[in-house]
Amino acid sequence: MEETYLLNVEGVKKKILHGGQGELRKLQDGSKITFHFQTLKDDFERTVIDDSREAGIPMEIIVGKMFKLEIWETLLSSMRAGEVAEFWCDAIHTGMYPLVSRGMRRIAEGCDPLEGQKHRCGMGNMFDYHSTGYDDLDELQRTPQPLIFIMELFRVEEPSAYKRDTWAMSKEEKLAAVPVLHSEGNRLVLRKEFAQAAVKYQEAVICLRNLQAKEKPWEDGWLKLENLITPLVLNYCQCQMELGEYYEVLEHMTELLQKHNDNAKAYFKRAKAHAAVWNEREAREDFLRVAHLDPSMAAAVKKELKQLGERMRRKHVEDRKRYQGLFQPHRGP
């Protein structure tokens, strides 16, 4: 089919390149759309800006979750499964494309798409940065222009038909998911499946951090969420200790203690991580801080300090033997 027609939207034209199947589906909030796309400049060469096939993974968006390029939901809602269509969009619809493209490129490169952002909204970031880090996107940001999108729609899944990622959940859904994830993590710990348990705790923390980002730091709403986050972080770090990821434990516990410097459990976990990587002085300081903050843990601290002393003595003996062999004079035949 080569029919070109206007969508019922100002500044948009559509050309069907390959017809789809079935009826047009009315999209509801929470539906997941999976598709491939190609973005081209509206110039003589039809210069390609982005192509999702190069990354090898189809694009997914969740309807109604404030995707920065709102026009894409409109375009995709006009397509049937299996359809391939070309859309011409005026500059009034493409101004946010550089930010969307930047995020997708950073994900494809294995980077955090939000790294370094100071604002939660895309418009704030546009004014905060002089550069996206990509020359072609900087040009589009300086001079917004019409773009061409070629899209192939694979499928539309209703909200109940797939397991939603936590970022796609509403506030109520995230709050409901946290105790479930916490319980699943605890169950996996009892089975000594620490890596899988860590994933559950981490997912719960991400749910709460997303909600916390919308609250003012240290106000009631923020503090309530922080009180839910802290035990999850402690559980996550306990799993990482079991997996031998001691430096990650040090990083997370230090970050937690910067906000909650009276948390004895955090000092205890950090002390054990220091001991595991032979930081004797730091371990002793943290263990003593635990005993000061929570006298009920004094017996556990005494036991840990005794074990630390024995381990360090054994290490010194082994090191002395090793160095003696290195510096002993060589005797000829």
Q: Please give the structure tokens belonging to residue 67.
A: 């995707």
Q: Residue 112 pLDDT > 70, yes or no?
A: no
Mean pLDDT of 104-110: 76
The total of other beta-carbon atoms located within 10 Å of residue 180's CB is 11
Question: Which token pair is 181?
Answer: 């994830």
Residue 149 and residue 75 in contact, taking contact as beta carbons nearer than 8 Å? yes
Mean pLDDT of 193-198: 94
pLDDT digits over 262-278, tens only?
999 999 999 999 999 99
Could you tell me which residues come within 8 angstroms of residue 68 by beta carbon, excluding any fewer than 6 positions away? 96, 99, 100, 122
Over residues 62-83, the mean pLDDT reads 84
- What distance in Å separates the CA atoms of residue 164 and residue 98, rounded to the nearest whole number? 27
How is residue 4 written in tokens? 């070109």
123 pLDDT tier (thresholds 50, 70, 90): very low
As a whole number of angstroms, the longest Cα–Cα distance in the chain is 96
Looking at residue 250, its pLDDT comes to 96
**How far is 140 from 149, CA to CA, in rounded Å?**
15
For residue 163, the 8-state DSSP code is -
Annotated domain spans of the chain: 4-157, 171-327
H or E element that contains 5: strand 4-6
Q: Token pair of 56, please? A: 């090898």
> What is the tens place of the pLDDT at every residue in 254-310?
999 999 999 999 999 999 999 999 999 999 999 999 999 999 999 999 999 999 999
Indicate the range of 95-109, 124-138, 283-297, 313-327 predicted with least confidence.
124-138
In the prediction, which pLDDT does 132 show? 78
Query: What rounded mean pLDDT belongs to the chain?
Result: 85
pTM over 0.85: no
Cα separation, 231 vs 293, in Å, equals 17
Question: Which is higher by pLDDT, 252 or 324?
Answer: 252
User: Residue 117: pLDDT above 50?
Assistant: no
**pLDDT value of position 210:** 86
Among the four given CATH numbers 3.30.460.20, 3.10.50.40, 2.40.100.10, 3.10.560.10, the one describing domain 4-157: 3.10.50.40
Ordered alpha helix ranges (H), 17-120: 52-55, 71-77, 97-108
The percentage of residues in the chain with a pLDDT greater than 70, rounded to a whole number, is: 85
In b/e form, how buried is each residue of 64-75, taking b as 16+ CB within 10 angstroms? eeeeebebbbbb
Neighbouring C-beta atoms of residue 212, cutoff 10 Å: 18
Can you name the residues that pair with 12 across neighbouring β-strands?
A: 89
Place of tokens 């973005």: 39
Is 1.10.3720.10 the CATH number for 171-327?
no
Report the percent of the chain where pLDDT is more than 90. 55
